[in-house]
Structure 1
Amino acid sequence: MPASSFVDYYECMQLSPNADQETIERVYRLLAKRYHPDNPHTGDHDKFSRLTTAFRVLSNPEQRAAYDAGYEESRAAQWKLFIQADPAGGIDSDQLIRHSILSLLYTARRNNASKAGVGILHLEDLLSCPQHLMEFHIWYMKSKGWIVRTDTGELAITAEGVDEFTSGERHFVKDRLLPPGRQGREEAES
Structure 2
Amino acid sequence: MTTDTDFIDYYEVLQISPRAELETIKRVFKLLAVRVHPDNPVTGDAEQFRRLKEAYETLSDPSRREVYDLALGERAQEPLPVFEMSDFSAGVDGEMNRRVGILCLLYNSRRANEDKPGLSLMELENLMGFPREHLAFAVWYLRNRQYVTTGESSDIVITSEGIDYLESNLPTSRVAYKLLKGAEKGTTRTSDTDEPPVPSPAGGERRRGPRVVQ
Matching residue's letter, 1:53: E
Q: Aligned pair in 2 of structure 1 residues 30, 4: CA closer, same or farther (>3 Å)?
A: same
CA distance in 2, matches of 1:168, 1:76: 29
CA distance in 1, matches of 2:65, 2:104: 25
Residue of structure 2 in register with 1:187 after alignment? none
Given the superposition, is the C-alpha separation of residues 114 and 12 from structure 1 closer, same or farther in structure 2, using an over 3 Å criterion? closer
CA contact (8 A) 1:3 1:74 kept: no
Distance 1:107 1:160 in 2: 15
1-side partners of 2:168 and 2:76: how far apart? Answer: 24
1:75 Cα deviation after fit? 4.1
Give the direction of change, closer, same or farther, for the CA distance of 1:136–1:69 in structure 2 (3 Å limit). same
Sort the Cα spacing of 1:106 and 1:55 in 2 relative to 1 into closer, same or farther, 3 A: same
**Offset of residue 114 of structure 1:** 5.3
In structure 2, distance between residues paired with 1:67 and 1:94: 35
With the length of structure 2 as denominator, give the TM-score of the two structures: 0.71
Structure 1 residues 13 and 90 mapped into 2: Cα distance closer, same or farther (>3 Å)? same
What is the match of residue 85 of structure 2?
Answer: 85
Q: Say whether the 8 Å CA contact 2:149–2:156 is kept in structure 1.
A: yes
Aligned length: 173
- Which position in structure 2 is the counterpart of 1:94? 95
Aligned-residue offset at 1:57: 0.6
Displacement of 1:64 in angstroms is 0.7
- Structure 2 spans left out of the alignment, 5+ residues: 185-214
Q: CA deviation at 1:160?
A: 1.3
Q: Is the 8 A contact 1:6 1:74 kept in 2?
A: no
Deviation at residue 77 of structure 1 after TM alignment: 3.0
- Report if the CA contact (8 A) 1:36-1:43 is conserved: yes
Q: Report the Cα distance in structure 1 between the residues aligned to 2:118 and 2:34, rounded to whole angstroms.
A: 34
Q: Is the 8 A contact 1:147 1:158 kept in 2?
A: yes
| Partner Cα distance (2:60, 2:153) in 1 | 34
Contact 1:76 1:127 in 2 (8 A): no
Alpha-carbon distance, 1:41 to partner = 1.9
Alignment of 1:15-94 (within 5 A): 15-77=16-78, 79=80, 81-86=81-86, 88-94=89-95
For 2:134 and 2:24, the matched residues in 1 are separated by 39
The amino acid across from 1:137 in the alignment is: A
Q: Is the 8 A contact 1:3 1:75 kept in 2?
A: no
The whole-number CA distance in structure 2 between the counterparts of 1:16 and 1:68 is 12
Q: Mind listing any 5+ residue stretches in structure 1 that lack a counterpart?
A: 177-190
Distance 1:68 1:50 in 2: 17
**Partner SS state of residue 99, structure 1:** helix
Distance change in 2, residues 1:36/1:136 (3 Å) = same
Change (3 A) 1:22 1:149: closer
Residues 56 and 119 of structure 1, relative CA distance in 2, 3 Å threshold: same
